[in-house]
Structure 1
Amino acid sequence: MERCLLIVAGFGFRSSASIDSLRDVFEKVIAELNFAKLKAFSVPKGKECIVRRLAAIYNVSLISVDIEKQHNVVTVTQSYYSFREKGVGSVAEYVALAAIGSDAELLLKRKVSADRLATCAVAYRRC
């Protein structure tokens, strides 16, 4: 019997990031993981537009996460910039974990795009 997994890739990015930035960092993630079970991308609320295009390319749904709400999420990465701007250690890790909810675990800590404008992390939960 195959195990049921809920897998979400979370993104964090600067306003100057392009679809190419997001694709670059996601391709780094794909190189490390098998995404046959990827269910969704998650992003901070209000940042859905650019990621919606990427979600359409990979045929996954999009989940918005309100970073302003406390989700009791602890990130592995502790980025000074992310903490200063958003109050979380890593936006990508935070939205991936928060999108899944309780019992979420980090499968892959954040990766950074070549232009350093986007990050992506992956979280999962057993169903």
Structure 2
Amino acid sequence: MERLAVIVAGFGYRTGTALASCEAALALAQVGHPPVTALAAPDDKTALLAPLAERLGLALFAIPAAALTGVPTPTRSRPSFAARGTGSVAEAAALAAIGAGARLLAHRHISPDRSATCAIAQGPST
């Protein structure tokens, strides 16, 4: 039997960001990668993504702030460190949603309006 990989799109975005910005960041991050199987964002930011997750038929993981703090990421954004204690909220959310064995497939991609970011991580096959 073929095993399915867990592929999570993690998001970071500013308060007041439109869902279209998150969708644009996701589209950029997905280029050349397999389809995502779930979405993830900080637990205080998931409300914006709920309609997207529902429309795509995907789970939406709400990542507690403590789970983001200190997650090592290739991106080293100063504002992200100041706000969340990690170099990229999108990368950290994707990695934290999967847990042990997660690896980034796509580093943080920024929406054209620069208000949302998306990164994609893959976990061990289930």
Q: Report the 3-state secondary structure (helix = DSSP H, G, I; strand = E; otherwise coil) of the residue aligned with 1:17.
A: coil
What is the aligned partner in structure 2 of residue 22 from structure 1? 22
Query: Normalising by structure 2, what TM-score?
Result: 0.91
Q: Report the 3-state secondary structure (helix = DSSP H, G, I; strand = E; otherwise coil) of the residue aligned with 2:27.
A: helix
Change (3 A) 1:70 1:59: closer
* Coordinate RMSD, CA, aligned: 1.6
Please give the residue correspondences for 1:62-77 in structure 2 after superposition, counting only pairs within 5 Å: 62-69=60-67, 73-77=71-75
Identical-residue share of aligned pairs (%): 38
Per the TM alignment, residue 39 of structure 1 is displaced from its structure 2 partner at its CA by 1.8
Corresponding residue to 1:114 among 112, 115, 118: 112
Counterparts of 1:4 and 1:57, CA distance in 2:
21
Corresponding residue to 2:55 among 39, 48, 57: 57
Q: How many residues align?
A: 125
Which blocks of at least 5 consecutive residues in structure 1 are unaligned? none
Per the TM alignment, residue 87 of structure 1 is displaced from its structure 2 partner at its CA by 1.0
Query: Normalising by structure 1, what TM-score?
Result: 0.90
Per the TM alignment, residue 30 of structure 1 is displaced from its structure 2 partner at its CA by 2.5
Per the TM alignment, residue 72 of structure 1 is displaced from its structure 2 partner at its CA by 6.0
